[in-house]
Amino acid sequence: MIDNNSVIKIGAGQARLSQDLLDSCIHCGLCLPACPTYLATGREMESPRGRIYLLAKWQEEGGELAPRAAEHLESCLGCLGCQTACPSGVHYEAILDQARPHLAARRNWLLRSIMRFSFAEILPHYGRLKIFGSMLRTVQLLKLDLLAAKFSGGPAFLQKLADFQMFTPMVPEHIALPKKSWRGGTKSGAAKLFSGCVMDVFYNHVNHAALRLLVRQGNIVEVPEQTCCGALAYHAGEDDIASSLARRNIELFESAGDNDKIVVTSAGCGAMLKHYPALLAQEPQWAERATKFAQRVQDLSQTLAAGKFPDNAICESKSAVGVENQSKAHIVYHAACHLAHAQGVRAEPQALLSALAAGTGAHLYDLPEAEHCCGSAGIYNLLNTALSLKVLDRKMKFIEESGADLVVTCNPGCMLQLEAGVKARGLNVKVKHLAEALDDACQ
Ligand code: SF4
Ligand code: SF4
- In SS3 terms, the chain reads as CCCHHHCCCCCCCCCCCCHHHHHCCCCCCCCHHHCHHHHHHCCHHHCHHHHHHHHHHHHHHCCCCCHHHHHHHHCCCCCCHHHHHCCCCCCHHHHHHHHHHHHHHHCCHHHHHHHHHHHHHHCCCHHHHHHHHHHHHHHHHCCCHHHHHCCCCCCHHHHHHHHHHHHCCCCCCCCCCCCEECCCCCCCEEEEEECCCHHHHHCHHHHHHHHHHHHHCCEEEECCCCCCCCHHHHHCCCHHHHHHHHHHHHHHHHHCCCCCEEEECCHHHHHHHHCHHHHCCCCHHHHHHHHHHHHHEEEHHHHHHHCCCCCCCCCCCCCCCCCCCHHHCEEEECCCHHHHCCCCCCHHHHHHHHHHHHHHCCEEECCCCCCCCCCCCCCHHHHCHHHHHHHHHHHHHHHHHHCCCEEEECCHHHHHHHHHHHHHHCCCCEEEEHHHHHHHHHC
Instruction: Quick: pLDDT tens for 47-67.
Output: 999 999 999 999 999 888 899
Quote the percentage of the chain above a pLDDT of 90: 72
pLDDT at 186 (0 to 100)? 80
> Does the Cβ of 35 fall within 6 Å of ligand 2?
yes
Q: Judging by DSSP bridges, how do beta strands 180-181 and 219-222 pair with one another? A: antiparallel
Lowest-confidence segment of 63-72, 313-322, 379-388 by average pLDDT: 313-322
Q: Is the pLDDT of residue 311 over 60?
A: no
* Distance in Å, CA 399 to ligand 2 centroid: 21
Comparing 4-106 with 312-442, is the CATH topology the same?
Answer: no
Question: Ligand 2: which residue has its CA nearest to atom 2?
Answer: 79
Distance separating alpha carbons of residues 56 and 337, to the nearest angstrom:
25
Smallest-distance ligand from the CA of 25: 1
Average pLDDT over residues 201-218: 94
Q: Which residue has the higher pLDDT, 147 or 403?
A: 403
* CB 48 less than 6 A from any atom of ligand 2: yes
Q: Which CATH class is domain 4-106?
A: mainly alpha
Q: Is any ligand 2 atom within 6 A of the Cβ of residue 37?
A: yes
Q: Measure the CA angle with vertex 233, ends 151 and 222; round to 5°.
A: 110
Mean pLDDT of 397-420: 96
Give the position, in ligand 2's atom list, of the atom nearest the Cα of 38: 8
Q: What pLDDT is stored for residue 11 in this prediction? A: 43
Band (15; pLDDT cuts 50, 70, 90): low
Amino acid at 43: R
* pLDDT for res 196: 93
Task: List pLDDT tens digits, range 346-371.
Answer: 999 999 999 888 888 889 999 999 99
Is residue 337 lining ligand 2, measured as CB closer than 6 Å?
Answer: no
Give mean pLDDT, residues 104-111: 93
| Probe target for ligand 1 pocket from 32, 47, 86, with the most ligand atoms within 8 Å of CB | 86
pLDDT at 23: 95
Q: Whose CA is nearest to atom 8 of ligand 2?
A: 35
Tens of pLDDT, residues 273-287:
999 999 999 999 999
Ligand 1: residue whose CA is nearest its atom 4: 31
Please report the pLDDT score of residue 440 as a whole number.
87
312-442: which CATH number, 3.40.50.1860, 3.40.50.620, 3.10.20.880, 3.30.1360.200?
Answer: 3.40.50.1860
- Sign of the alpha-carbon dihedral angle for 14, 271, 420, 205: negative
**Ligand sitting nearest the alpha carbon of 93:** 2
Distance 213 CA to ligand 2 centre (A): 34
Nearest CA among 188, 260, 185 for reference residue 224: 260
Amino acid at 228: C
Between 409 and 11, the higher pLDDT residue: 409
Of 25, 32, 37, 44, the one to substitute when testing ligand 2's pocket (max ligand atoms within 8 A of C-beta) is 37
Q: Which of 92, 372, 384 to mutate to test the pocket of ligand 2 (most atoms within 8 A of CB)?
A: 92
- Would the CB of 75 count as within 6 Å of ligand 2? no
pLDDT digits (tens, 9 = 90+) for 115-170: 999 999 999 998 898 898 888 888 888 877 777 777 666 677 777 777 777 888 88
Q: Does the C-beta of 50 come closer than 6 Å to ligand 2? A: no
Domain-wise residue ranges, the chain: 4-106, 312-442
Residue 327: pLDDT band by 50, 70, 90 thresholds?
A: low
Question: Is the pLDDT assigned to residue 258 strictly greater than 90?
Answer: no
pLDDT tier for residue 3 given thresholds of 50, 70 and 90? very low
230, 232, 236, 237 alpha-carbon torsion, rounded to 10°:
10
Is the pLDDT at 413 greater than 80? The verdict is yes
Mean pLDDT of the chain: 89
